[in-house]
Amino acid sequence: MEPLPFKQLVKDHFNNLSTGQKKVANYLIENIDKAAFQTAFQIGKQASVSETTVIRLSYALGFQSFSQMQERIQRQMVLQNQTAAAASDSIQSSDKHIFTKVIENQVDILRNLLNSANIQEIWKAVDVLIKADQILIAGHRIAHAAAYWFSYMLSTIREQVNLCSTSDDFFEKFCNLTNQSVVVVFSFPRYSNETIKIAECAVEQGITLISITDRLLSPVGRISNIVLTTEENAETGTNSIASVISLLDLVIEGIQQKDNERILAYQQKLEKLYSTFGVFNE
């Protein structure tokens, strides 16, 4: 019978490991290429534990020594590399072309994010989002995932961020906005009428509107104060969330660079709440 893959072996035993052994296990999994040729002392130093703890992990995983555990890791690495090489050789050129085209399209989209016009709009969005007293975010259907991601990330660095759910609660949240507020809408083909109506409502009420969309002249792009585009002039045929998230990452990074002091204070308060209520399993 083939021995279990090392990562699976660690997973199966993980809950029974000591705290120190878990640190070593995490280090081995995350740095397996490097750890395969390190000594027990070097691994322990990197994992912030003693050399003895590393050796005890090998026993806990069923090995007779650290050397035996390391030999298993090394053999498995060789096998994985051989398997990957064989799989790569077996892929037909036509199949390669399909995936290569997708990746190349993504690269083209990401390059377009850094054109001068887009950079200017990104900084405008950053300034507006920092100054806003409230931010309301909306995105329906295909755009909802990106809207949710952005609302969550913004809520980790500032207060008063709300996401419109798919249950049509826009007007209840909208009525609390002021002329210092911002509405952010996500809209991609096929454009949702719900999102377009939200954008139109923001414009009618004189509230700053930021749109994240596929092109400058999309239905929401035409009426927005600030337009961030992800696929302008890119012939993809599909809408990829990868480029959208990359664009949003630029906005988040810009906010963090310009509003770092306030963000730090806010995140300290947030971390206290996370810790008090055990939000994360760390």
pLDDT in tens, 132-156: 999 999 988 888 899 999 999 999 9
The SS3 assignment for 228 reads strand
CB 231 within 8 A of CB 239: yes
For the structural domain made of 6-90, what CATH number should be given? 1.10.10.10
Complete edge-to-edge strand list for the sheet that includes strand 182-187: 161-163, 135-139, 182-187, 208-213, 226-229
CATH fold, domain 103-276, is: Rossmann fold (3.40.50)
| Residues pairing with 137 in the sheet | 163, 184
Classify residue 217 as exposed, middle or buried by CB count within 10 Å of its CB (0-12, 13-18, 19+): exposed
Decide which of 17 and 280 is more confident: 17
Whole-number mean pLDDT of the chain?
A: 83
With 90 as the cut, is the pLDDT of residue 209 above it? yes
Q: What proportion of the chain, given as a percentage, has pLDDT over 90? A: 32
Q: How many CB atoms lie within 10 A of CB 9?
A: 18
DSSP notation for 177-199: --TT-EEEEEE-SSPPHHHHHHH
Q: Give the separation between CA 53 and CA 19, rounded to whole angstroms.
A: 10
Residue 91 has a pLDDT of 53
Q: Where are the domains of the chain?
A: 6-90, 103-276
Q: Which residue has the tokens 């700053």?
A: 208
pTM: 0.67
Question: Where are the alpha helices (H) located in the chain, listed in sequence order?
Answer: 6-13, 19-30, 32-35, 40-47, 51-60, 66-90, 93-113, 116-131, 144-155, 170-174, 193-204, 241-258, 260-277
Residue type at position 39: T
